[in-house]
Structure 1
Amino acid sequence: MEELFEKFTHKYSNDMDKAIHKSDEQRSFRNPVLFVFLGDKSIEASKKVYSYINKTLDNGAGILFFNVFSEKKFEESNVFNFNIPYDKENFKGLRKSIYDKLYYDDEILTNLNKEIVKVKNKILEQGEEFASFEKINIAVVTRADDELNILVPEITLLIKTKLMQNFLITACDLYTLIETKAQDENDEFNRGALAVSFFKEVNFFQSSNFKYEKEIEVFDGNRKLAVKWDKPIFELVYILSDVNKKGVVTRNSLEENYNIISYISLIKNRKINSESYYDIKNKIYDDNIFRRNISDENGELTLATAGLSVIKRPNSAVSMAVLSCVYEDMLNTLKDTSAIKETDILFELGLDEETINNKMKKCMPEDKGVEDMMAIMTIKSRIKGDKVTLKEAERELYDNMCEKFYEVNFKEYANEKLSSMNFKAAIGEAVEKIARKQELGVYAAYLCTRDEEIIDTLNNRVKEYEISMEKLQNHIDEIYEGDIKRPSFFKSLLGKEEILRDIKGQIFNEVYSRKIEILKMQLKCTYIKNCIEELSNLNAYFGELIEKLTKTKEKIHRYTLELIRENDNYIGQNIREYYEGIVKEKLLGLKEKFGKRFYFKEEFAGDLYDIIKAGTDEIVDRLQEMCLKYILTEKEFSMSFEDELNERTNISTSSYDREISTKDEIFKNLCTILESNSISKAFIIDYNVTKYEEKYFFGDYSSDFIKYAYNFDKQSKSCEIGYIHERRATGIEKLSLMGGFKIKDLIYYKNSVKYYEAALKEGYKLHG
């Protein structure tokens, strides 16, 4: 279900970006860029950067990706993958074996050359996508602890050699990703040893006296040419760790680093429009100036890092908050059975008195009644004695023939008819019919199967029948025990036939007619009890359906809270409370237009019963479509970032008797958030580091917020401050660049050197 949520929030965010930023200046790269991701541990970074580039750049389709991997890869347009397989069992000799494999396995080296030529040819086809085609920027990305990074010099120099044939300038940067979290102590040891190995190699190939000359450029016919290089390979080496300069691992820390790679690439290669830099005081990013300012006077390698803060309207959290409110209202509407009469439910179930009476009539013999019993032959023609009870009179006249006739022709017949009824199917169909009706629904079906309300009513009716049967039986007993009624003197003159007819009338009209009434009530009791039993059996099934709906509500609520928490507390405040009021208002309008229970119409959530049996995904999907069509398109969801935050921030002031936050206060808080969230992503010992910093805002300088933020930093920060002016309707981004520290200043390096030294002593072959 989380995939459904993610798809929904992405669609809404993308639709909002398109709607709000219709007039926005599109971002684009001035020069072609090639991203090289080296090692399986960098594949996720490749995917994220690819996604960012293709979503946000109008010429993103012209940017190429080259992934070098051993097991993992991902395939998209303009993504090239090259596989270097190696044996992972011999961990001690792993790095050296990869190095040797490249140099001694002609097939791998030949195929690598061919793949790089394919990449180059594809880049050359993209010329029309870029304003300038004289320069190409290469961004090499690897994880410090990935064993494949031993080939960084070879692969980078081979790519540069091929591209230098067609481009006047080939600028190349190295992005080294660090993940400090290990699975266990052994994993920490191995990864630390690998990372230190790579850092030592970085120091080596970035030194001013680095020289390289090896035959790795291969042509058809096994012709090999030497690749020569006599200076540092990379212009800048960036360190991006999951631990920031405060020693804290932030939420989504690795993903933040992948975004930083995208933003640094943008700031280096951004196409500048004529109106973009109209402020002569504005600091324009210059790669050469930054590199010069972080360099060491002794020529020792210095590193750079960065931090990124993105503040914009929390669209994903907003969309899920709306979905959460809508789903909850749908569930409450489903559960609202106050307008449903108990008599209506009983009628739907076929358990109203009239329906039961009609069904029980069918159980009784149509062609037989009390009149037919009159024809039963008597075994005696007269009754002896003056005081004779009706019970004795029946026995003398008929023995047990009346009872047998009643048992066979009424009782047995009726019970046989009753037992032939399919209670399970009848009640199941009736409850299902209730579940499918828009005005009743699944929850009404669930309620009528519980041991309350409907079932209580039915049980009460059974008790009433049982009381009535008991009364009738007592009456029968009294009649039986009473003396027979002697005929009047006039009737006695007519003879014994008239006397017998009178006694028979007492037996059949006063006793057996009541026995038939008792039988009818017994049939009703049995029928109702069987129906109650089947309703109880159905309760577990319908209870599971309701549980599914309830659990889905909890999932939506949980996912919404997660998205809200992903935002800074200040940015994410009052999201649920603010949008709940808006959603309720919109839902009232929909209910007025389409009816109170509009959710259960086909164009909305539809027949929940059929859908829910297979799960609740389709219900969520339909409600998401409803939100996108009827609610999230309303004007309240199209406000600018500043206005929306201002409204949301002040929603609870009247409730809590607080002062309204001014725009200046809101902007000041946002500046604090921008600064704290953009701290550099390298944990270093900085007391002996001469740091150089530059900070850049991305946003529309004509907006009040970016002007405030830019001037706020200008006055309070000692570093260089600039802005990248873009016509943007909402949001602001801040990129902090910092450099001047060395590999030995990295706390991760300092902590891992012992693993490297121990590994060498244990016979690990960590270099080529």
Structure 2
Amino acid sequence: MNELLEQFAAAYAAREEELPGFAEGRSGLHYPAAFLFIGDRAAEAAVSLTELNARKYDNAAGIAYFHVATNGLSEDALDRHPQAVRFRWDAFGSRSTEENTLRRDTHRAFVHSQADHLYELNRDLRRSSRMLSESGRLFASFDRLHLSVVVHADDVMNVLTPEISLLAGAVFGQSFKSVQTDLYVLVSDQEQSDSFGYSSSVGVSFLRELDLMQRPEYAFSAPLQVTENRLKIDVNHAPSPLFDLVYILSDKNERGIAAPGGLRGAYEIICHAHLLKNRRRDAGTAASIAGTADEQPLEGLKTGAGQYNNSAFKSGLSGESGRRGLASGGFARVTRPDRSIALAVLYQFARGLNRRMRDIPDTPAAEQLAKLELDRVHMRGRAERLAPDEGKLEDMNGIMSSSVSYSSIRRMSLAEAEETLFGKAAESFFRGNFEGEAQRYLGEADIGRGLREYASRAAAEDARHGLYRIAAWSDPSESAQAAPSALLERMREAMLERDGAREELDALYGGIVEDQPFKKALLRDSQNVRNFVRYFFEQVYGLKLRILRLDMEIEMYRRYEDALVELHSQYKATIRRVEQLEERLRRAAEYSARSADDYIGQNLMPYYERVVDAVMRDAEDRRGRDYYFEERRLGDLAALVSERPEDAYGTGGGSAGSGSGSGGAPGASGLPAPSYGRGILSGISEAGLSAMHAGERRLLQRLQELCVREILGAEPLAQTYEQELLRRANVAVEYENRETMTKEDLFRILYRKLEERASITLRLFDYTQEHRHEEKYFFGDGNGEFMRYALNEEETSRIYRVGYVHERRSDGVEKLNLMGGFHIEDLMYYRNGRVYYDAYVKAGYLFHAIDAGSLPEI
């Protein structure tokens, strides 16, 4: 179920991003770009950045992705990405390796003169380069390539960072006039695995080498390029820092607080920092020609906001000594929480439908019986059809009787006369031909079929109330005032009538023959006997036939009572599935609202309860009260949710947590649902709910289709993030209440939230303000009210550079804080890890591929 909801929510968010006015103004890259990932640990970053870039850049189809990993890395989405190449390398083959020299040996295996992997790596890099060459039409200029290298600090393979980075730059550089390379180092501060000491030592080793790579005197030369004839060519790097900029990004912020999404924020920083540096902004772009260029004047801004200047930023990172500082960043966004909105709307829609279905009109129990054809008229008719009719009583006149005279029996009671005339023959005939026949027909009758057919017909014809009506009418509890209690009343009536008939029979049997009102003839003895016999069978056995029919009626009441209980159990189970689905949707919506964060997700449930209810009422007012229950919408709910033969074989079934199909399957809206590393429902607990039934899954899919078609596209949901947040903030406020939140109040809160959450994702030890260089950038609609407010606020007392990237969108605003000027020794990660590093080195571990003595002492 989680996967179905993930797809539904993601598809809605993707659809919103395509709507005019929401996010059709995606930014574009000026120069071609390539992302190089080194090591298995960078696999998650590779997959995430392909997704983030695709949503952020309008020319993301021209970005190349290259990942160097070990052959032990399992396949993921990157292996199937059309713009990605993954080079898997078996460093040691069948040879065993020791942990204490693993990092050094990895480097030696890579540069081994007789190994053939360099040829294969060159070939794959050229394949990636061809992809870049074919994407030239997507970019404003093809003179420069922006190469972003991503590594994990504690990944052993980062020892190859200079070799792989320079080789990639050399191969890509044959298609471009220049290649500008940035490095993004990912630090996992939160992880405390069994090998934390070794991992920290690897991280410190890499940071020491990185400090060397960024020195002005750093130079490099190695035979890394390989031709098709296996000829090797040197790759050279003249004395200068290896990377233009180096970002250190952690999963903890400056205050040491762990980020809830792990390194997800770091991937956002990479995406947006790359955009700042490589943003399309020349006047010759298609966007500019069409009048939609990124650079738009900000109405009402006091002095204007600056654009990103890479030279100025690098200059701010360098101290008086000339040593190049490192950079980090923080990222936050305020957006319409579209995925949480989708789930809240879906739940409120399902809840609204259920509320309408549960609101069945009151029907007296007697009327229920009549509609179910269980009233006495129908039950008597069934009883009469079960027992032979009165005409068969004529056959009893043929029963052989004793040759007695009328005078001998005229003073007898009817019981005595029957015994004298027939013995047990008449009773035996009645038992065999009347009672036996009735019992046989009763045994062959499918008592519940008519009820089931009526219930099925009623549920189909009245999709709004049918399911709940049948369940309510068949409720056997005494307090229900439903058909079963009325049925028992009718049964008691029949039993009283039967008791009266039995008393009448007893009285009749006790009567004297000559007192009975049959035709008597004088001096015709045999004729009087015949007349008495005919009278006797008509009256006595006619009464017995009536009692038999009452017995049949009473027995049918009992059986129909059981049939009603069974019908109630069936329809109650169907309703339970409907209500369990509603409960699951409620839990999912509430979990997602909480995940949106404490402010952006506030009042989601009560606000969208009102919105959905208003949309549904409006549709019903215009198109009829049963609009949502028509056949082409919800239709026959009972048939949708009930058991089907294929359910027994798992078709369409599944557990509560399973999905249907792969993560790339289309969502309910028909749009392809993006894949995300951590879904909005990750970790949701469905404890207390049974496994999801196949009928629930069918109903969920129908509800999703209806919700997309009927609710999510409605006008009340088409709001900018500012309008939506303000209305949600005031959802519980009464008219003219002085506590109503104003737009300025909202903007003040959002501005503070953005700044708090965009705190730098790196913990430093003693980093004073005088060494700190900061720049802050907003991404969003430059003429939006909140953007103007935020930029004006930044201008009041800022001591840092402020800028913005104009994007024609109304779904939110993002903020990227950049900070730099610190060095390796300022990192808490380095200071804590140095203790382990020194201990491991002292124990004989060899981490470096070069002489450790040649590394600058930090």
Q: Normalising by structure 2, report the TM-score.
A: 0.82
Residue of structure 2 aligned with 1:391, choices 405, 409, 415: 415
Aligned to 1:194: 202
2:649 matches 1:644: no
Tell me how far apart the structure 1 counterparts of residues 323 and 470 of structure 2 sit (CA, whole Å): 77
- Alpha-carbon deviation of 1:599? 2.9
Q: 1:59 to 1:352 in 2, by over 3 A?
A: same
Deviation, structure 1 residue 682: 1.0
Task: Find the counterpart in structure 1 of residue 551 from structure 2.
Answer: 522
- Offset of residue 78 of structure 1: 1.4
Task: Indicate how the Cα distance of structure 1 residues 44 and 349 shifts in structure 2: closer, same or farther if over 3 A, else same.
Answer: farther
Closer, same or farther: CA 353–234 of 1 in aligned 2, 3 Å:
farther
Letter matched to residue 523 of structure 1: M
Distance in 2 separating the partners of 1:191 and 1:544: 55
Give the secondary-structure state (helix, strand or coil) at the position aligned to 2:759: coil
Residues in 1 aligned to 2:528 and 2:154: alpha-carbon distance in whole angstroms: 116
Secondary structure of the corresponding residue to residue 515 of structure 1: helix
Q: Deviations over 1:191-220 (max 9, x none)?
A: 334333332332333333333222221112
Letter in 1 for 2:313: F
Structure 1 343/202 Cα, relative in aligned 2: closer, same or farther at 3 Å?
farther
User: 8 Å contact 1:41–1:143 — kept in the other structure?
Assistant: yes
Within 1, Cα distance between the matches of 2:163 and 2:452?
Answer: 73
Is it true that 1:629 corresponds to 2:709 in the alignment?
yes
The CA distance in 2 between the partners of 1:487 and 1:480, in whole Å, is 11
Q: CA deviation at 1:349?
A: 5.0
Deviations 1:344-380 (A, max 9, x none): 7656655344443343333223584333323323225
Question: Contact 2:184–2:249 at 8 Å: present in 1 too?
Answer: yes
CA-atom RMSD, angstroms? Answer: 3.1
State yes or no: 1:533 paired with 2:562.
yes
Report the Cα offset of residue 264 of structure 1: 0.6
Select 2:697's aligned residue among 594, 599, 617: 617
Q: Compute the displacement of 1:408 (Å).
A: 0.5
Cα distance in 2 for residues equivalent to 1:718 and 1:658: 37
- Find the aligned partners of 1:97 and 1:530 in 2 and give their Cα distance: 83
Residue 18 of structure 2 is matched in structure 1 by 18
Partner Cα distance (2:824, 2:797) in 1: 30
- AA partner of residue 833 (structure 2): S
2:767 matched to 1:742?
no
Instruction: Identify if the C-alpha distance between structure 1 residues 37 and 461 changes in structure 2 by more than 3 Å, giving closer, same or farther.
Output: farther
Pick from 68, 80, 88: which aligns with 1:83? Answer: 88
User: In terms of mean alpha carbon deviation, does 82-91 or 97-106 score higher?
Assistant: 82-91
Rounded to whole Å, the distance in 1 between the matches of 2:157 and 2:564 is 66
String of CA shifts for 1:115-148, please: whole Å, max 9, x gaps. 1111122212222211122221111112223333
Matched, 1:126 2:135: yes
Question: Which digits, 9 at most, give the CA deviation of each residue in 1:262-299, with x for residues without a partner?
Answer: 11111111112556165875222112221221234445
Q: Which of residues 762, 774, 777 in structure 2 aligns to 1:696?
A: 777
- 1:692 Cα deviation (Å)? 1.5
* 1-structure distance, mates of 2:24, 2:521: 116
Partner residue in 2 for 1:324: 347
- Alpha-carbon distance between aligned partners in 2 of 1:375 and 1:610, rounded to the nearest angstrom: 55
Matches within 5 A, 1:245-644: 245-272=254-281, 276=295, 281-298=304-321, 302-338=325-361, 346=369, 349-366=372-389, 368-382=391-405, 384=408, 388-423=412-447, 427-439=451-463, 440-452=465-477, 453-486=482-515, 491=520, 493-497=522-526, 499-501=528-530, 503-504=532-533, 507-613=536-642, 614-644=694-724
Tell me which amino acid in the other structure corresponds to 1:372: D
SS at match of 1:436: helix
Query: Within 5 Å, which residues of 2 pair with 1:163-202?
Result: 163-182=172-191, 185-202=193-210
Q: 2: CA distance between counterparts of 1:489 and 1:567?
A: 93
Residue by residue over 1:554-584, the C-alpha shift from the partner in whole angstroms, topping out at 9 and shown as x without a partner, is: 2222222233223343333323222322322
Query: Do 2:409 and 2:417's aligned partners in 1 also have CA atoms closer than 8 Å?
Result: no
Higher mean displacement: 500-509 or 742-751 = 500-509
Distance 1:507 1:129, change over 3 A: same
Take 2:403 and 2:813, find their aligned partners in 1: how far apart are those partners?
111
Match of 2:107? Answer: 99
Question: Residue 791 of structure 2: which of 707, 710, 718 is its match?
Answer: 710
CA distance in 2 between counterparts of 1:556 and 1:87 reads 51
| Unpaired stretches in structure 2, ≥5 consecutive residues | 284-292, 643-693, 850-858
Q: 1:302–1:739: 8 Å Cα contact kept in structure 2? A: yes
Question: Aligned pairs, how many?
Answer: 767
Conserved 8 A contact 1:380-1:396: no
- Structure 1 unaligned blocks of 5 or more: none
SS in structure 2 of the partner of residue 606 of structure 1: coil
- 1:190 positional shift: 4.4
For 2:216, the equivalent position in structure 1 comes to 208
**In 1: Cα distance, 2:518 partner to 2:220 partner:** 144
User: What is the aligned partner in structure 1 of residue 658 from structure 2?
Assistant: none
User: 1:153 maps to which residue?
Assistant: 162
* Equivalent residue, structure 2, for 1:661: 741
* SS in structure 1 at match of 2:131: helix
> Once the two structures are superposed, what CA deviation does each residue of 1:242-262 show, in whole Å capped at 9, x if it has no partner?
211122223324222211111
In structure 2, relative to structure 1, the CA distance for the partners of 1:23 and 1:570 (3 Å cut) is: closer
Aligned AA (2:46): S
Aligned to 2:661: none
Q: 1:488 to 1:170 in 2, by over 3 A?
A: closer
How many angstroms does 1:327 deviate by? 0.8
Change (3 A) 1:39 1:397: same
- Partners in 1 of 2:22 and 2:735 — Cα distance? 37
Is the CA contact 2:775–2:800 (under 8 Å) kept in the aligned structure 1? yes
- In 1, Cα distance between equivalents of 2:760 and 2:353: 46
Tell me which of 834, 843, 848 is aligned to 1:753.
834
Does the C-alpha gap of structure 1 residues 392 and 434 become closer, same or farther in structure 2, counting only changes over 3 Å? same
SS across alignment from 2:194: helix
Shift of 1:654: 1.0
In the TM superposition, residue 330 of structure 1 has moved relative to its aligned partner by 1.4
Structure 2 CA distance, aligned partners of 1:514 and 1:756? Answer: 107
Amino acid across the alignment from 1:691: R
> For residues 23 and 330 of structure 1, do their structure 2 counterparts lie closer, same or farther at Cα, with a shift above 3 Å needed?
closer
**Post-superposition shift, 1:487?**
5.8
Query: Residues 438 and 601 of structure 1 are in contact (CA less than 8 Å); yes or no, is this contact kept in structure 2?
Result: no
- Cα deviation, residue 590, structure 1: 2.2
Tell me how far apart the structure 1 counterparts of residues 326 and 501 of structure 2 sit (CA, whole Å): 102
Which residue of structure 2 lines up, in the alignment, with residue 139 of structure 1? Answer: 148
With 440-449 and 65-74 compared, the bigger mean Cα shift is at 440-449
Letter in 1 for 2:281: I
- Kindly provide the CA deviation profile for residues 22-63 of structure 1, in whole angstroms up to 9, marking residues without a partner as x: 796441001111011223332232222212222232211111
- In structure 1, distance between residues paired with 2:49 and 2:748: 31
Corresponding position of 1:68:
68
1:487–1:16 CA distance, 2 compared to 1 (3 A): closer
Contact conserved, 1:25 with 1:727, CA < 8 A, in 2? yes
Could you tell me how far 1:10 is from its partner in structure 2?
Answer: 3.0
CA gap 1:681/1:591 in 2 versus in 1, 3 angstroms: same
Q: Once the 2 structures are TM-superposed, how far is the Cα of residue 413 of structure 1 from its aligned partner? A: 0.8
Give how far 1:696 is off.
1.0
Deviates more, 1:135-144 or 1:300-309: 300-309
TM-score normalised by structure 1 residue count: 0.91
The list of structure 1 runs, each at least 4 consecutive aligned residues, that deviate by more than 6 angstroms after superposition, is: none
